[in-house]
């Protein structure tokens, strides 16, 4: 693929482009269960910013290499700083892995290929769509290590699974299976193994990428307004005031309506939103 902006060259992740308009990010520290250190956080923050800024890309996917999706923070790095009474390197404003507090513009899908613990689970909490393999499991073991899930999951997880289930997860630290997480509404879909989970994520991403990139961006913004706790009427008003003129000024709304009348597949252009 050709890009208008040069892609990042991360040390701890691999970038690939499995289908048109789709970015696949693979966390690549398999011996460390893909835990993320301070450098990795900065790299991932830059990757997701690039996704939003690169007009040829419409959807992102994140997965892990090996048997883990992400085991959370690099506790060895954290321990070294704590024992030396040094302040840890601050996470980017987008949170753990550049995702746990990300607002962003374009959707990101999690293809959970294995364990997702601590910060790994915090990323999942703020993901747009989550697809997990059968052997995946989720948990917040921070209380078992004397730390806290600071990266944004605590106020968010309750909105997905409810107070009692959220309390159970974060106060006991127990691991929740993929099937149980799906029953709780934390996971969209459970598939076979780690290879199938990435393939399924690509299928879903392809469905999204086939739609108007303008409409996807604005529709996602509308859902996010409700996610952040704004009332339905207020959220609708803000969405219209912020986005309706921009959407109507673009070429994709004209193309989509014209294609419907002409009974053909629309030919979308790169979003300028």
CB 6 within 8 A of CB 43: no
The H or E element containing residue 246 is helix 232-249
- Whether 122 is a known active-site residue: answer yes
- Whether 120 is a known active-site residue: answer no
Selecting among 43, 49, 54, 122, the annotated active-site residue is 122
Selecting among 119, 120, 152, 250, the annotated active-site residue is 119
- Residue 100, number of CB atoms within 10 A of its CB: 24
CB 44 within 8 A of CB 13: yes
- Whether 104 is a known active-site residue: answer no
Selecting among 43, 49, 142, 194, the annotated active-site residue is 142
Query: Residue 64 and residue 27: Cα distance in Å, rounded?
Result: 5
CA dihedral 219, 222, 228, 232 (to 10 degrees): -140
Give the sign of the dihedral formed by CA 73, CA 77, CA 79, CA 82. Answer: negative
Selecting among 68, 73, 116, 153, the annotated active-site residue is 73
CB 169 within 8 A of CB 139: yes
Beta strands in 144-272 (DSSP E): 176-177, 189-191
**HSE (side-chain half, CA atoms, 13 Å) at 72:** 21
Query: Residue 244 and residue 87: Cα distance in Å, rounded?
Result: 45
Helical residues (DSSP H) of 90-190, grouped into ranges:
119-125, 153-161, 163-172, 178-183
- Whether 110 is a known active-site residue: answer no
* Catalytic residue annotation: 73, 119, 122, 142
């Amino acid at each position: 693929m050709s890009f208008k902006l040069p892609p990042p060259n991360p040390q701890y992740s691999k970038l690939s482009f499995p289908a048109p308009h789709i970015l696949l990010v693979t966390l690549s520290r398999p011996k460390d269960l893909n835990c993320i250190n301070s450098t990795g956080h900065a790299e991932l923050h830059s990757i997701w910013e690039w996704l939003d800024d690169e007009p040829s890309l419409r959807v992102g996917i994140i997965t892990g290499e090996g048997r883990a999706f992400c085991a959370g923070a690099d506790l060895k790095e954290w321990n070294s700083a704590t024992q030396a009474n040094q302040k840890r390197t601050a996470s980017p404003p987008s949170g753990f892995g550049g995702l746990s507090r990300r607002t962003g513009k374009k959707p990101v899908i999690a293809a959970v290929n294995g364990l997702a613990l601590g910060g790994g689970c915090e990323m999942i909490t703020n993901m747009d769509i989550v697809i997990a393999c059968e052997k995946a499991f989720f948990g917040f073991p921070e209380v078992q290590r004397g730390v806290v899930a600071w990266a944004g999951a605590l106020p968010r997880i309750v909105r997905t699974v409810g107070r009692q289930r959220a309390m159970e997860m974060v106060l006991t630290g127990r691991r929740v299976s993929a099937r149980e997480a799906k029953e709780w509404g934390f996971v969209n879909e459970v598939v076979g193994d780690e290879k199938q989970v990435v393939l399924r994520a690509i299928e879903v991403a392809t469905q999204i990428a086939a739609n108007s990139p303008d409409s996807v961006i604005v529709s996602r913004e509308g859902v996010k307004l409700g996610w952040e706790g704004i009332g339905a009427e207020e959220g609708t008003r803000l969405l219209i005031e912020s986005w309706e003129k921009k959407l109507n000024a673009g070429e994709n709304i004209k193309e989509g309506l014209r294609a419907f009348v002409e009974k053909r597949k629309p030919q979308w252009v790169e979003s300028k939103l």
